[in-house]
Structure 1
């Protein structure tokens, strides 16, 4: 049963419309190249409209894997497809695994704290997830490969892509946890000081330090780089002609690269250029 007729799950015509619009998403993110205003994370602002960080992050990011999952289980039946090939389910599984970590496990269980998110950022991220999940989900659920033969001859590329995806995900988690350790250390310190003074411990939403482990030795946003590697592997699994996976990677880079450059300026302003040193924003030795 369709949640929104011809849109969720999408008809082929509407799916193609979504894919066409989705390729222009970098035009929306272009503003980040000239503006430092980004009210989320370390650059969040005080606003009565702010959404609590953990709730905001979980709700905007969960839209993606929930939408893709629904399309995967509803669209094939509407198209008369009895069984999707295993390659489709591998790609769907990779997508869901990533966002179960990113949208549920990380914000709700692993992160000690998260800065508030402005509704404007929440809406853009929510839209990103809906468009991306519809694009990829439609391709996987019936508008892309529909038989095992469609994957034939590409098994070696799929295996390599899956390995790249898995290493990218693990590296992303590793570097995320390095950032979490900073918050945990700050939380322990604040709690100990508060206990000595007989006061309640303050939050650690705005505690930031320069990360130093792993690829953080070379770049300030190593977790961004690892996520790009992860989704490059994902595109490799789907193949060169998997335009939804390609659009996802391009849109991630064009969204996160100016954010990383903005973040480097923030680090330099807060800690000084001497402490930041020769570290680049996101790509070692380049940017």
Structure 2
């Protein structure tokens, strides 16, 4: 078996550049048209059917964890020679273990996910899992142990942990809104929701920005850019939806995605 079994730096770079290129039209489209899942499926026609929210989460997210994990096991000799890069990858794996196998079981209710949306998310997770594995298991971007006390690694790790904490706390607040078994939508309060409508998205954007900094490579940068291109506009859509649904009851000082910023952009597009 090859030390770098089935992993290729050239292919990984090509996939990464393709995802970066696709990010541009994605963000432009999603600014004006919300992705059809969650609260935005009310008038959507399920042309290819749908999956339950929990099933969709597990199936679409698990490739992000499984693919790099399998490649780790298949390339153990290479891993031993590239431990700092594997440590970087572990930040990613930690997030996706939770997101794939724990978070879905904590969901309460949730609209069904259109099969088309599920398939697009699944494809991204497969491609992203591959490029993260390639860059952090084989020497697409070789690192010495000195990288672990480089300021970029330290600052990135701090941003990652802070972002992860905000994301988890925001998810807990959202789950708490349905603790009584209700299925409707309410105004979230507490944590970063006091400042932004998309607190969970802000946390995830910060988390993957930190990952891009601590890794300082094309794969991590691609993931951060693609994530922000997808969930950044969704935070704007949520901000518009909250203000339209709850009117004067919704806190007027809240911004869309970034504390103290971006409401002006949101209003220009939506009002």
TM-score range normalised by the length of the shorter chain: 0.7 to 0.9
Q: 2:87 aligns with which of 84, 87, 90?
A: 90
Structure 2 residue ranges without an equivalent (≥5): 263-271
5+ residue gaps, structure 1: 191-203
Q: 1:41 to 1:184 in 2, by over 3 A?
A: same
Could you give the per-residue CA deviations for residues 195-223 of structure 1, whole angstroms, max 9, x where no partner exists? xxxxxxxxx2xx21110101101111111
- Residue 181 of structure 1: how far off its partner (Å): 0.3
Alpha-carbon offset, residue 243 of structure 1: 1.3
Alignment equivalent of 1:183, drawn from 172, 175, 178: 178
Residue number in structure 2 paired with 1:283: 258
Report runs of 4+ in structure 1 exceeding 4 Å deviation: 151-154
Match of 1:220 among 197, 216, 220: 197
Q: Does 1:255 align with 2:230?
A: yes
Q: Which residue of 2 aligns with 1:16?
A: 13
Aligned residues: 257
Contact persistence 1:72–1:140 (CA under 8 A): no
Counterparts in 2 of 1:245 and 1:152: CA distance versus 1, 3 Å: closer
CA RMSD of aligned residues (A): 2.4
Partner of 2:266: none
* Aligned-pair CA distance for 1:118: 0.7
1:170 is aligned to 165
Q: Which has the higher contact order (CA 8 A, sep 6+)?
A: 2
Give the secondary-structure state (helix, strand or coil) at the position aligned to 1:183. Answer: coil
Range moving further from structure 2, 55-64 or 110-119: 110-119
How do residues 101-112 of structure 1 correspond to structure 2 at under 5 angstroms?
Answer: 101-108=98-105, 110-112=106-108
Instruction: Select between 56-65 and 46-55 the one with higher mean Cα deviation.
Output: 46-55
Q: Secondary structure at the match of 1:269?
A: helix
Q: Distance in 2 between matches of 1:273 and 1:130?
A: 43
Distance 2:142 2:126 in 1: 23
Q: Distance in 1 between the 2:241 and 2:110 partners?
A: 18
How far does residue 25 in structure 1 lie from its aligned partner after superposition? 2.4
How far apart, CA to CA, are the structure 1 residues paired with 2:147 and 2:51?
A: 47
With 245-254 and 156-165 compared, the bigger mean Cα shift is at 156-165
Partner Cα separation in structure 2 for residue 147 and residue 163 of structure 1: 19
CA contact (8 A) 2:82 2:137 kept: no
Contact 1:84 1:146 in 2 (8 A): no
Contact 1:44 1:115 in 2 (8 A): yes
Alignment of 1:113-132 (within 5 A): 113-132=109-128
Give the aligned partner of residue 57 of structure 1.
57
Deviations 1:229-284 (A, max 9, x none): 11122122113xx1111111111111111111111111122111552422111111
Q: Distance in 2 between matches of 1:104 and 1:28?
A: 31
How big is the shift at 1:72?
A: 2.8
2:7 is the alignment partner of 1:31: no
> How high is the TM-score relative to the length of structure 1?
0.81
Deviation at 1:155, TM superposition (A): 3.1
Change (3 A) 1:145 1:17: closer
